Amino acid sequence: MTERNTFLRSTHDLGLAAWFGGSLMGAVGLNGAAEKEGVSDVGTTRIASAGWAKWAPLGALAASANLFGGTGLLVANRGRVAGQKGVAASTVAKTVLTGAALAATAYTRVLGKRVDLATSEKEEDQEMAEQAPLSYEGAQKQLALMQWAVPALTAGLVVLNALHGEQQRPSQQARGLRGTIAGIAR
């Protein structure tokens, strides 16, 4: 590959780093601090909810940057994706995992908002929470799991990103191209 895609690669990698790191820090640090400092279950929830609400816009920006950079890299490397053996399969896996991480991130935010409304001091927020199809307790249980799903899924993306980097080595490109040609010749 002779052309450089530094901007796209940086956008992709910095977005993924922030998405993974922010979700992991929130699950470990923010939730842990809220549990330690919250005087009651409601107080703990309010502390955690306030922190996650502050992170949400940056988390959305991080995921969007990763998606933008990844899409740009896919377009820039479309010839290699189509022509080098193994690259299309890892690209499909990365695309599916990205979709799962995006869905988990969005669902986690929905659950967090549900829990936030239920513990709000505002009566109208509590009324909205009572109309939600999922109970407060159910939302809290799912949220506890989903807040770990996001860093797990994004960690998988980091691994696939490393695989893509390895597939770009000249020796891997030559081997992949020979494998593709051999497959066509059969």
pLDDT tens figures, 170-179: 655 555 555 5
Rounded distance, CA 84 to CA 131, Å? 52
Q: Confirm if 126 and 120 have CB atoms less than 8 A apart.
A: yes
Q: Which of 98, 91, 94 is nearest to 76 (CA)?
A: 91
Q: Confirm if 112 and 150 have CB atoms less than 8 A apart.
A: no
pLDDT digits (tens, 9 = 90+) for 36-93: 998 898 899 999 999 999 999 999 999 999 999 999 999 998 988 888 888 899 999 9
The predicted model scores a pTM of 0.83
CB atoms within 10 A of CB 48: 25
Single-letter amino acid code for the residue at 146: M
| pLDDT band with cut points at 50, 70 and 90 for residue 144 | very high
